[in-house]
Protein backbone atom coordinates (compact mmCIF):
# COMPACT_ATOMS: atom_id res chain seq x y z
CA UNK A 1 0.00 0.00 0.00
CA UNK A 2 1.41 3.40 -0.96
CA UNK A 3 1.44 6.36 1.41
CA UNK A 4 -1.33 8.00 -0.64
CA UNK A 5 -3.43 4.85 -0.30
CA UNK A 6 -2.84 4.85 3.48
CA UNK A 7 -3.85 8.51 3.77
CA UNK A 8 -6.96 8.08 1.64
CA UNK A 9 -7.95 4.92 3.46
CA UNK A 10 -7.56 6.61 6.85
CA UNK A 11 -9.56 9.65 5.72
CA UNK A 12 -12.36 7.46 4.33
CA UNK A 13 -12.47 5.39 7.53
CA UNK A 14 -12.41 8.38 9.91
CA UNK A 15 -14.95 10.33 7.83
CA UNK A 16 -17.28 7.33 7.86
CA UNK A 17 -16.88 6.95 11.65
CA UNK A 18 -17.31 10.63 12.44
CA UNK A 19 -20.28 11.34 10.17
CA UNK A 20 -21.97 8.16 11.37
CA UNK A 21 -21.46 8.71 15.08
CA UNK A 22 -22.12 12.45 15.20
CA UNK A 23 -24.70 13.01 12.48
CA UNK A 24 -26.18 9.59 11.68
CA UNK A 25 -24.86 9.80 8.11
CA UNK A 26 -23.95 6.55 6.40
CA UNK A 27 -21.28 6.53 3.70
CA UNK A 28 -22.65 4.28 0.98
CA UNK A 29 -19.80 4.29 -1.52
CA UNK A 30 -16.23 5.44 -1.82
CA UNK A 31 -13.89 5.71 -4.74
CA UNK A 32 -10.39 7.12 -5.04
CA UNK A 33 -8.16 7.86 -7.95
CA UNK A 34 -4.94 9.63 -8.72
CA UNK A 35 -5.87 12.55 -10.90
CA UNK A 36 -3.99 12.74 -14.16
CA UNK A 37 -5.81 15.81 -15.35
CA UNK A 38 -4.12 19.16 -15.77
CA UNK A 39 -6.45 20.88 -13.37
CA UNK A 40 -8.38 20.33 -10.17
CA UNK A 41 -11.77 21.96 -9.66
CA UNK A 42 -12.77 22.44 -6.04
CA UNK A 43 -16.38 22.60 -4.80
CA UNK A 44 -18.08 25.93 -3.96
CA UNK A 45 -17.07 25.73 -0.29
CA UNK A 46 -13.84 23.93 0.49
CA UNK A 47 -12.05 23.48 3.81
CA UNK A 48 -8.26 23.19 3.60
CA UNK A 49 -5.91 21.87 6.28
CA UNK A 50 -2.20 21.25 5.79
CA UNK A 51 -0.69 18.15 7.37
CA UNK A 52 2.99 18.29 8.29
CA UNK A 53 5.39 15.64 9.55
CA UNK A 54 5.67 12.60 7.32
CA UNK A 55 2.54 13.57 5.32
CA UNK A 56 3.50 16.99 3.97
CA UNK A 57 0.36 17.58 1.92
CA UNK A 58 -2.75 19.73 1.95
CA UNK A 59 -6.17 18.15 2.33
CA UNK A 60 -9.18 19.91 0.81
CA UNK A 61 -12.66 18.77 1.88
CA UNK A 62 -15.84 19.74 0.08
CA UNK A 63 -19.29 18.83 1.41
CA UNK A 64 -22.56 18.98 -0.53
CA UNK A 65 -24.97 21.63 0.78
CA UNK A 66 -27.29 19.16 2.51
CA UNK A 67 -24.38 17.75 4.49
CA UNK A 68 -23.25 21.24 5.48
CA UNK A 69 -26.80 22.03 6.63
CA UNK A 70 -26.87 18.84 8.70
CA UNK A 71 -23.46 19.49 10.31
CA UNK A 72 -24.40 23.11 11.03
CA UNK A 73 -27.77 22.18 12.57
CA UNK A 74 -26.27 19.52 14.83
CA UNK A 75 -23.29 21.57 15.95
CA UNK A 76 -25.39 24.59 16.85
CA UNK A 77 -27.96 22.61 18.85
CA UNK A 78 -28.39 24.19 22.27
CA UNK A 79 -27.63 27.80 21.44
CA UNK A 80 -29.11 30.61 19.39
CA UNK A 81 -27.49 31.67 16.13
CA UNK A 82 -28.40 35.15 14.88
CA UNK A 83 -29.13 35.67 11.19
CA UNK A 84 -25.93 37.64 10.82
CA UNK A 85 -23.95 34.76 12.36
CA UNK A 86 -25.21 31.92 10.17
CA UNK A 87 -22.51 32.18 7.50
CA UNK A 88 -19.75 32.37 10.11
CA UNK A 89 -21.05 29.36 12.03
CA UNK A 90 -21.58 27.32 8.84
CA UNK A 91 -17.92 27.85 7.99
CA UNK A 92 -16.88 27.11 11.56
CA UNK A 93 -18.97 23.92 11.60
CA UNK A 94 -17.39 22.49 8.45
CA UNK A 95 -13.95 23.63 9.60
CA UNK A 96 -14.41 21.83 12.90
CA UNK A 97 -15.70 18.69 11.18
CA UNK A 98 -12.63 18.51 8.94
CA UNK A 99 -10.33 19.36 11.85
CA UNK A 100 -11.82 16.50 13.87
CA UNK A 101 -11.62 13.95 11.05
CA UNK A 102 -8.00 14.78 10.21
CA UNK A 103 -7.04 14.97 13.87
CA UNK A 104 -8.22 11.38 14.23
CA UNK A 105 -6.34 10.43 11.06
CA UNK A 106 -3.06 11.60 12.58
CA UNK A 107 -3.14 8.70 15.02
CA UNK A 108 -3.45 6.26 12.08
CA UNK A 109 -0.72 7.92 10.06
CA UNK A 110 1.83 8.71 12.78
CA UNK A 111 5.16 7.09 12.14
CA UNK A 112 7.26 6.01 15.14
CA UNK A 113 10.42 7.15 13.40
CA UNK A 114 9.03 10.56 12.47
CA UNK A 115 7.95 13.56 14.45
CA UNK A 116 4.39 14.51 15.24
CA UNK A 117 2.03 15.22 12.36
CA UNK A 118 1.16 18.88 12.68
CA UNK A 119 -2.05 20.43 11.41
CA UNK A 120 -2.82 23.99 10.41
CA UNK A 121 -6.08 25.67 11.41
CA UNK A 122 -8.77 25.17 8.74
CA UNK A 123 -8.95 27.69 5.90
CA UNK A 124 -12.33 28.06 4.18
CA UNK A 125 -12.28 28.76 0.44
CA UNK A 126 -15.51 30.20 -0.96
CA UNK A 127 -16.43 29.94 -4.61
CA UNK A 128 -15.54 27.34 -7.21
CA UNK A 129 -11.82 27.26 -7.69
CA UNK A 130 -9.67 25.61 -10.33
CA UNK A 131 -6.00 24.81 -9.85
CA UNK A 132 -3.82 24.05 -12.86
CA UNK A 133 -1.28 21.32 -12.29
CA UNK A 134 2.34 22.38 -12.55
CA UNK A 135 5.22 19.99 -13.06
CA UNK A 136 5.81 19.02 -9.43
CA UNK A 137 2.22 19.11 -8.20
CA UNK A 138 0.15 16.00 -7.51
CA UNK A 139 -3.61 15.77 -7.11
CA UNK A 140 -5.49 12.82 -5.66
CA UNK A 141 -9.26 12.74 -5.35
CA UNK A 142 -11.66 10.63 -3.32
CA UNK A 143 -15.45 10.83 -3.37
CA UNK A 144 -17.55 9.52 -0.50
CA UNK A 145 -21.27 9.17 -1.21
CA UNK A 146 -24.00 9.42 1.39
CA UNK A 147 -27.77 9.84 1.37
CA UNK A 148 -27.19 13.53 2.20
CA UNK A 149 -24.81 14.14 -0.67
CA UNK A 150 -21.16 13.75 -1.46
CA UNK A 151 -17.94 14.44 0.42
CA UNK A 152 -15.08 15.26 -1.93
CA UNK A 153 -11.57 14.86 -0.55
CA UNK A 154 -8.60 16.19 -2.51
CA UNK A 155 -4.98 15.64 -1.53
CA UNK A 156 -2.71 18.31 -2.98
CA UNK A 157 1.02 18.30 -2.69
CA UNK A 158 3.81 18.66 -2.07
CA UNK A 159 2.93 21.13 0.65
CA UNK A 160 5.87 23.49 0.08
CA UNK A 161 4.74 24.58 -3.38
CA UNK A 162 1.30 25.71 -2.15
CA UNK A 163 0.10 28.16 0.47
CA UNK A 164 -2.84 27.31 2.76
CA UNK A 165 -5.31 28.76 0.23
CA UNK A 166 -4.09 26.30 -2.42
CA UNK A 167 -2.40 29.05 -4.40
CA UNK A 168 1.04 28.27 -5.72
CA UNK A 169 3.63 29.71 -3.40
CA UNK A 170 5.41 31.51 -6.23
CA UNK A 171 5.21 35.06 -7.50
CA UNK A 172 3.33 33.96 -10.57
CA UNK A 173 -0.27 33.07 -9.77
CA UNK A 174 -1.31 29.93 -11.62
CA UNK A 175 -4.81 29.84 -10.31
CA UNK A 176 -7.89 30.59 -12.36
CA UNK A 177 -11.29 31.31 -10.84
Binding residues for other proteins (CB under 8 A): 18, 21-22, 75-76, 78-79, 88-89, 92-93, 95-96, 99-104, 106-107, 110, 112-113, 115-121
Whether the CB-CB separation of 158 and 13 falls below 8 Å is answered with no
Whether the CB-CB separation of 40 and 154 falls below 8 Å is answered with yes
Q: What angle do CA 28, 34, 38 make, to 5 degrees?
A: 125
Instruction: Name the minimum Å distance from CB 34 to other proteins.
Output: 27
Instruction: Name the minimum Å distance from CB 74 to other proteins.
Output: 10
| Residue nearer to other proteins on the CB measure, 2 or 78 | 78
| Rounded-to-integer distance, Cα 16 and Cα 2, Å | 21
Instruction: Name the minimum Å distance from CB 23 to other proteins.
Output: 10
| Residue nearer to other proteins on the CB measure, 100 or 138 | 100
Specify the pairing of strand 57-63 against strand 175-176: unpaired
| Residue nearer to other proteins on the CB measure, 23 or 168 | 23
DSSP β-bridge partners for residue 60 = 48, 154
| Residue nearer to other proteins on the CB measure, 70 or 101 | 101
Amino acid sequence: MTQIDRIMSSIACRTREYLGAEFGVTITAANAHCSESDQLTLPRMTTVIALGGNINMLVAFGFDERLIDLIFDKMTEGFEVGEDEVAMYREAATGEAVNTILGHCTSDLADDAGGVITMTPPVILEGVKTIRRMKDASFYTQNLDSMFGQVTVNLVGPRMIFDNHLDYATQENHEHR
